[in-house]
Amino acid sequence: MKKYLSKALAATSTALLLVCLSACGGANEADTSRIAALEQSLSALESEKNEIAKERDRYNGLYQDLERQLSALSETESELSKCREDLARVTDLNEKSTTRIKELEDRIESLESRKKDLTSQLADTQKKLSDAIIELASPERKPAERVSSEYVDPDGTYTKLTSVTKYRQNELPCKSYLLLDTPDVKSKKILECNEIYSYSLSPDATRVIADNFSLEGGSTTVYMYDIRTDSLSELALPDLPIAYAPSYLEWLDERYFLFVLQLDHGTVSRGGDVYVYDTETGEYRRIVANPEKRFQISEIHTYGNDFVVFESVMYDETMNFTVPKHNVLTCDETMQLIRGKSEIDLSAMTAPEK
């Protein structure tokens, strides 16, 4: 009996030992996987640390350049001041040493030129530093998309434009671009600029117009993209009034497009007059003139070959409140204005909306 119990205890001990070894093996395998995951995380953190160190070195370099340029500018201004004082002394004493006076004048001219160069370099460095700080402090948020209506041919083929604008956390746009989709191309980037304000696809789906108007002022460019030739061009508009720029764009037909000419700054700028642009001749002129400056057309919408809707606002006498209005012209009436080289005042045509 004792012999039997001894054998049973030995078998039980062996089984328990095997179970413990199996459990330890599983635990070791889990620990090994956890250690590998931690090592990968550590490697990623080290990589991120290196990138941050590179950015820090770049910003330190910019600061050092800025300090050197400030020091050089200070030294130049000091030497310039000394030269001016010397010149004043020489002039006051009425010395006859014209050679010295000429040397001082030449030196002053040279120092003035160097000061101008250093000032320009300083401004450039400050802008680079400011851009770097903004880039570091204001990461981009999710892009906002705005899709135009699709153009579908009778045979079923389509053309679609998509406007994508990337914003920073301060809600200011940092980059915009237009994407083109056709049966032959997918999401082709046809235009990239700081901000796309308005764009329109021609009725025959062969050309695109767009602009980068902004109420912050600056230069506004009107772009035209030819889908058939895959070419992008900038339209010249040299004779527009100062401080005014094209804002809203809309095709009238395959030849003409309309645009709103708007004041590019100010809190009461919501629109303006309407111009027509002839793509065959490159000529443009006003067709909707509003003598009442409180009346401003903000958007234009063309509905086939039937009519054109002008969305507008009418300010009150204090220029603090507005009332929306809609004015309608048929496409034939609009073409008569173009062919007859005449203008129309829409401010009194439609009663204000409630």
Phi (first) and psi of residue 183, to 5 degrees:
-60, -20
Count of C-beta atoms within a 10 Å radius of residue 134: 13
For the stretch 261-317, pLDDT in tens is 998 876 667 888 999 999 999 999 999 988 777 888 999 999 989 999 999 888 887
Give the residue-averaged pLDDT of 194-208: 90
Chain mean pLDDT for the chain? 81
Could you tell me the pTM of the whole model? 0.57
Give the residue-averaged pLDDT of 124-130: 76
For residues 259 and 221, what is the distance between their CA atoms, to the nearest angstrom? 13
Q: For the stretch 20-54, what's the b/e string if a residue is b when 16 or more beta carbons lie within 10 angstroms of its beta carbon?
A: eeeeeeeeeeeeeeeeeeeeeeeeeeeeeeeeeee
- Class of residue 296 by CB neighbours under 10 A (exposed 0-12, middle 13-18, buried 19+): buried
Measure the N-to-C terminal CA separation of the chain; round to a whole number of Å.
108
Q: Using the predicted structure, report yes or no on whether residue 196 has a pLDDT greater than 80.
A: yes
- How many residues appear in the chain? 354
For the stretch 49-90, pLDDT in tens is 888 888 888 888 888 888 889 899 899 989 988 888 888 887
Please name every residue paired with 235 in a beta bridge, in sequence order, or none if there are none.
Answer: 222
Nearest by Cα to 290 from 252, 266, 263: 263
Phi (first) and psi of residue 26, to 5 degrees:
-65, -40
Task: Locate the domains of the chain by residue range.
Answer: 2-137, 140-195, 197-354
| Residue carrying structure tokens 């160190």 | 53
The whole-number pLDDT of residue 140 equals: 47
- Which range is least confidently modeled, 26-35, 37-46, 113-122, 212-221? 26-35
Q: Using the predicted structure, report yes or no on whether residue 146 has a pLDDT greater than 90.
A: no
CA distances, 63 to each of 42, 57, 58, 116, 153 (Å): 31, 10, 9, 20, 58
- The percentage of residues in the chain with a pLDDT greater than 70, rounded to a whole number, is 78
Give the residue-averaged pLDDT of 232-257: 94
For residues 68 and 167, what is the distance between their CA atoms, to the nearest angstrom? 34
For residues 233 and 282, what is the distance between their CA atoms, to the nearest angstrom? 12
For residues 18 and 7, what is the distance between their CA atoms, to the nearest angstrom? 17
Helices (H), 93-208: 98-137
- Identify the CATH class of 2-137: mainly alpha
For the stretch 309-352, pLDDT in tens is 999 888 887 777 788 888 999 999 999 999 999 999 888 765 44
The whole-number pLDDT of residue 33 equals: 87
Q: Which residue has the higher pLDDT, 11 or 312?
A: 312
Helices (H), 249-346: 331-339
Nearest by Cα to 291 from 346, 228, 353, 234: 346
For the stretch 212-244, pLDDT in tens is 998 876 789 999 999 999 999 999 999 999 889
Torsion, Cα of 251, 301, 299, 338 (10° steps):
50
The maximal CA–CA distance of the chain, rounded, in angstroms, is 137
| Residue carrying structure tokens 């040279």 | 110
E strand map for 194-267: 198-201, 207-211, 222-226, 231-235, 244-251, 256-263
Determine contact, residues 163/144, Cβ cutoff 8 Å: no
Give the residue-averaged pLDDT of 176-198: 88
The whole-number pLDDT of residue 8 equals: 54
**How would CATH label the architecture of 197-354?**
Beta Barrel (2.40)
DSSP 183: S
